Structure 1
Amino acid sequence: MSDLPAHWQAELDALLVSEPMPLDTTTLAGATARLAAAFPVLPMPGAGNTLARWQFLAEVAARDLALVKIYEAHADARAILAELAPAARCEAPSLARQPVWAVWAARSPGNELSFASRDGKAVKLAGTKAWCSGARFVTHALVTCVDADGSDWLAALPVDQPGVTVSERGWEAVGMEATQSVEVDFADAHATLVGDPGAYVRRPGFWHGGAGIAACWYGAASALAARLRDAAQRRDNPYLRAHQGAADVALVAARACLRECAAAIDGAPRADATRHALRARCAVESAVDSTLRACARGMGAAPLCRDRWVARVSADLPVFVRQSHAEADLAALAGAVLESGEDWRL
């Protein structure tokens, strides 16, 4: 198991020291560009340093959830390209700065991109893609799309091109407001297919990335719990300390699950990681719920109303964690457990 290199944390602190946290829609773009330039590629999942990768994401999340939402997608896109198309290039000549990648793979009823035309790996895409985080400032995106037969594909494209229009639609939430995960319209937008049909979800790295999202949730929850710990140190209140204990139990259990998941991925990087990833995601989601409850009940209304960082994280984290599919994920985990025959002996 690897640990986060000390110089990474020092560099992260130096990079963000002048940023007013939490970030807003104006400051997020610049902070993301600087972070992507300073850390363009993290250790690839399954290459022996998965835990260090996740620890870095958790450190970013502990500072700002909108920032890690965009940066994690950038890091995930790099991992996807390395896995499916290591020789792929999607560069826009007009872009002089470090590319910032997005992964826009969410689907909603009636909203999906389709091939308008195809010439080998080169395609033109038409339609609407929902939930496009960072659409106003990312430079490139990996997008899911379908061909005329309904087969699923992944395509890479520069966002700054004719035929790609970032709308004002589709994001009304106060939580994660800075990401502005709006709908993007495509009209004969040029893209390059990445991998074979269906490869995006079939590849081993799909669940590696899914577990990495849980590391982001964990990082924010652990930072919030640290505020609760600080309050418990200042005030000798048994109820406050009880809430601190509840958060500790939840977070330590989730941390152990994340570490076990990282070890399993590094130990068998080509194996199906569904069970490990779903367990980690569900454990962290439960810890997030417990930590939010403990902080709200233990510290009361004052930090929710007067501490800008606590207020923002408390609004952002419930929205971000809804990337989990709740009971659907638990049911899928149960299926994976039944298939593996796990019996939970110590």
Structure 2
Amino acid sequence: MDLQNYLARRPPDYADTAALGQCLRAMVEAGLDHLPLPGSGRTLERFRALADVGGHDLGLCKLYEGHTDALAIIEQLGGTPTPGSTWGMWAAEPPQARVQVIPLGHMVALNGRKAWCSGASVLSHALLTAWDGDQQQQLVAVALDQPGVTITDQGWNAVGMGATGSVEVLFDGAEAQAIGSPGDYLQRPGFWQGGIGIAACWYGATRQIAERLRQHCAQREEPHALAHLGAVDTALQAAADVLRCSALKIDSAPEENAELLARRARAVIEQSAEQVMRDVGRALGAGPYCKDRHFARLIADLPVFLRQSHAERDLAALGQLIAGQPGEAWTL
């Protein structure tokens, strides 16, 4: 069964983290997590899969994207994941929650607190960033069902994206395996390529929200609703074109630094998503927010997921990159 057919047979209504974890495990067992690697020549297929899951349910997409990202990173850095395992990719680094690495023979020991750990209570493993004695960032893989790992109920009071259970996790001497060398997580080409994958998730949810307006306009001609649909179409078309172009560029130069490409793509798709949410809401009124459960969940979850963008800070970083580009940066 392919991914689209699988999702079409499941109602997009996951009550809690346990339900999301059950679905993710079923997808892994069905082999639906075997996505093409970024830069493999099939990057657009990867983006399409992420968008499809995003349009189905953003909570599931958060866990699915983290799992598939972790698998890609492990493969890129020479590791081998345990068959049937489900993975989190936890790389948030708030100053009050840092994990330290201590050498332990051929393994390492982890100590400290990790924040924003999506799906922690329902995953078997996690790939996370930690810090060694020289204050270099090291990627480590850890089994979560061992002594020294405590899944808390702290740090997550969300309504939108609430089912992801992105709680804090405590490590006290837990054993882990170093993946790659210090600094590899940020330095590898896949880091920024994966950032565009996140934007594909945003796009999938945005497209599904827009579909509610398209269906409305197909049933009745309302000039204002049609005008909103025209605006929505242009926003979605821009986002889709950016994802297609980004995939082509990644596949044509998989080892190149994709930071500029990713920052541009994420900015365009974030702006498109915000415009679509605004236009669809103004066109349709309160009805779908209150009577269409799938729509209501997406429209509550998407603004939270979009905040993986850092808004003006990310735009300022993009502006700094552009300021250093030659004049032909915008040439057709």
Q: TM-score, normalised by structure 2?
A: 0.95
Contact 1:59 1:219 in 2 (8 A): yes
- Paired letter, 2:54: A
SS at match of 1:184: strand
Partner of 2:72: 79
Partner of 2:23: 31
Q: Distance in 1 between matches of 2:157 and 2:282?
A: 27
Contact 2:7 2:53 in 1 (8 A): no
Contact 1:90 1:158 in 2 (8 A): no
For residues 233-284 of structure 1, the C-alpha deviation after alignment (integer angstroms, 9 at most, x for no partner) is 1221111111111111111011111111111100000001011111111110
- Paired letter, 1:71: Y
- Paired letter, 2:172: A
For residues 75-122 of structure 1, the C-alpha deviation after alignment (integer angstroms, 9 at most, x for no partner) is 11111011112xx2454xxxxx8111110101112101002x313551
Q: Distance in 2 between matches of 1:42 and 1:15?
A: 15
Partner of 2:180: 195
Q: Which of residues 90, 113, 123 is equivalent to 2:108?
A: 123
1:60 to partner: Cα distance: 1.1
Q: Distance in 1 between matches of 2:263 and 2:106?
A: 33
Q: Distance in 1 between matches of 2:81 and 2:46?
A: 24
Number of residue pairs matched by the alignment: 329
Q: Which of residues 3, 10, 16 is equivalent to 2:7?
A: 16
Contact 2:139 2:182 in 1 (8 A): yes
RMSD: 1.4
Partner of 1:94: none
Unmatched 5+ residue regions in structure 1? 1-9, 92-96
Superposed, which structure 2 residues align to 1:135-154 within 5 Å? Answer: 135-154=120-139
SS at match of 1:270: coil
- Paired letter, 2:36: P
Q: Distance in 2 between matches of 1:113 and 1:159?
A: 15
Q: Distance in 2 between matches of 1:153 and 1:121?
A: 15
SS at match of 1:190: strand
Contact 2:3 2:49 in 1 (8 A): no
Contact 1:36 1:71 in 2 (8 A): no
Q: TM-score, normalised by structure 1?
A: 0.92
Partner of 2:244: 259
Unmatched 5+ residue regions in structure 2? none
1:17 to partner: Cα distance: 4.6
SS at match of 2:319: helix
1:18 to partner: Cα distance: 4.8
Partner of 1:111: 97
Partner of 2:59: 66
Q: Distance in 1 between matches of 2:11 and 2:50?
A: 19
Q: Distance in 1 between matches of 2:290 and 2:147?
A: 44
Structure 1 residues 17, 50: closer, same or farther in 2, change over 3 A? closer
Contact 2:74 2:81 in 1 (8 A): no
Contact 1:155 1:194 in 2 (8 A): yes
- Paired letter, 2:73: I
Superposed, which structure 2 residues align to 1:206-217 within 5 Å? Answer: 206-217=191-202
Partner of 2:235: 250
- Paired letter, 1:156: A
1:22 to partner: Cα distance: 2.5
| Further displaced range: 206-215 or 145-154 | 145-154
Q: Which of residues 302, 311, 319 is equivalent to 1:326?
A: 311
Q: Distance in 2 between matches of 1:186 and 1:107?
A: 15
Percent identity of the aligned residues?
Answer: 46
- Paired letter, 1:32: L
